[in-house]
Copies of this chain bind each other. A is one copy, B any other.
Amino acid sequence: MSGVHNFNPGPAVLPAEVLGEVREEMFDFKGTGISILETSHRSKEYQEVNDRARSLLLELLGLGDEYEAMFLQGGASLQFVQVPMNLLGPGETADYVVTGAWSAKALKEAKLRGKVNVAADTKTDRGYTRIPRPEELKLTPGAAYVHVTSNNTISGTQWHELPDTQGVPLVVDASSDCLWKPHDYSNLGLLYAGAQKNLGPAGATAVVIRKDLLDKCGGDVPIILRYKTQAEKGGLYNTPSCFAVYVIMKVLEWVKARGGAEAMERRNREKAELVYGVIDKFPRVYSSPVERESRSCMNVVWHLPSPEKEAAFLEGAARRGMIGLKGHRSVGGCRASLYNSLPVESARALAEYMEEFAAS
């Protein structure tokens, strides 16, 4: 769109094809003569959108009938609460692997609800710079679940393989990398993802849950916050964030048409290699605080030698139509978010500019 390269960390870039369709249908959704924004969530037309989005999500994740998919509200932040409310019974322990600011927040909410064990915490005085190795995880035998954040948007680290929980339900916050590549989900109990990074716009949260876990919830949990309440209605117990789900459906169609998670992985690795390649080529200009094996393909973070250099870098980027490159306010530096929807050309333009800046 108009020469802008959108590296926003979320809400983030969407496929131009999707925005074009949304625009096209703004006044007339599927021949109804009204906008999707004015369409009842009980209408046949919306039910089709919701069902299609749910089945596409399961299909693209490679999950079968033993899972239920739904689109809820409240973001990952509400899932930090709903997960222990629903899955952490009295006397049970939940394992949390803390690899960044978001998993720390998830842990904090869980502590208000029940017994938790920190299976690993990779924070050092330089912040969170890596994903723990399998042998570092102190897992509780028979834990209610193991919670991980699969990609850490702020610190720029990512689990390239999900941990083996030996049959304990794995709970994954995949907000910033859902469908970035195929994963082995054989231990998956629950996956949640705020949509605004890798799945669509803000306002809806994808939740995928193994059906046998739906019955775990206690009767003291608020009715609207029980997964079972929503799962029984396909996420339509109350009015959902219809428009967000409609855009998510289109993004999922777009992912499927391009070859699914396998194709996304090739595309994402290509983009990540372009940017990391320049960082590695100019170590005196660009420094990454992240351990090499833990590097995220979604959020690449780096620092420049001085605040002045950083400001000059960002200014030059802005002049070239590259936006969203400022690092998270809590860690500073620069960050490029390379989600599924980001075109390879945007990553290439950034890499070229970084090369040029380093040489100047």
Q: Hey, which bits of chain A sit against chain B, CB under 8 A? A: 1-4, 6, 8-14, 19, 22-23, 26-28, 32-35, 37-42, 73-78, 80-81, 108-109, 112-113, 194, 196, 201-204, 220, 222-225, 237-244, 247, 321, 323-324, 329
Determine if B224 and A2 form an interchain contact, defined as CB atoms under 8 angstroms apart. Answer: no
Is the pair A35, B19 in contact by a Cβ cutoff of 8 Å? yes
Q: Smallest CB-CB separation from A203: which chain B residue?
A: B241
Please state if B19 and A37 are interface contacts (CB–CB under 8 Å).
yes
A4-B33, A33-B321 given as contacts; is B26 within 8 A of A26 (CB)?
yes
- Looking at the assembled complex, report how far the CB atom of A254 sits from the nearest CB atom of chain B, in whole angstroms: 14
**CB neighbours of A11 from chain B (8 A):** 37-41, 239, 242
Kindly report which residue of chain B lies nearest to residue A4, judged by CB atoms. Answer: B33
Q: What are 23 A-B interface contacts by the 8 Å CB criterion?
A: A11-B37, A11-B239, A13-B34, A22-B26, A23-B23, A23-B27, A32-B323, A37-B201, A37-B247, A42-B329, A73-B74, A73-B75, A75-B238, A78-B225, A80-B224, A194-B239, A196-B239, A196-B242, A202-B241, A202-B242, A202-B243, A203-B204, A203-B241
With A109-B223, A194-B239, A241-B73 as known contacts, state yes or no: A37 contacts B10, CB within 8 Å: no
Q: Which of B14, B77, B112 touches A220 (beta carbons < 8 Å)?
A: B112
Q: Across the interface, do A14 and B33 meet the contact criterion of CB distance under 8 Å? A: no
Of the candidates B27, B38, B40, B243, the one whose C-beta lies within 8 Å of that of A203 is B243
Q: Which of B13, B27, B77 contacts A224 (CB 8 A)?
A: B77
Q: How far is the CA of A161 from the CA of B10 in the complex (A)?
A: 43
By a CB distance below 8 angstroms, the chain B residues around A73 are: 73-75, 78, 203, 241
Of A75, A80, A239, most B-chain CB atoms within 10 Å:
A239
Which partner residue on chain B sits nearest A82 by CB separation?
B222
Residues of B within 8 A of A77 (CB): 224, 237-238
Bound together, the chains give a CA A73 to CA B2 distance in angstroms of 32
Contacts known (A222-B81, A242-B203); A14 close to B2, Cβ less than 8 A: no
Given that A77-B237, A224-B81, A239-B196 are contacting pairs, would A40 and B8 also be in contact in the complex, using a CB cutoff of 8 Å? yes
Residues of B within 8 A of A42 (CB): 329
**Once the chains bind, are B26 and A112 in contact (CB under 8 Å)?**
no
For A222, list chain B residues within 8 Å (CB). Answer: 80-81, 109, 112-113
In the bound complex, what is the Cα–Cα distance between A73 and B10 (angstroms)? 17
Q: In the docked arrangement, what's the CA distance between A73 and B26, Å?
A: 23
Given A23-B23, A34-B1, A194-B239, A224 contacting B39 (CB threshold 8 A): no
Contact between A10 and B203, CB atoms less than 8 A apart: no
Interchain CB contact under 8 A, A38 and B14? yes
Q: In the complex, which of the residues A9, A14, A223, A241 has the most CB atoms of chain B within 10 Å of its own CB atom?
A: A241
Are A26 and B19 within 8 A (Cβ)? Answer: yes
CB distance from A228 to the nearest CB of B (A): 15
**Who on chain B is nearest to A108 by CB?**
B223
Distance, CA A194 to CA B39, complexed state (A): 15
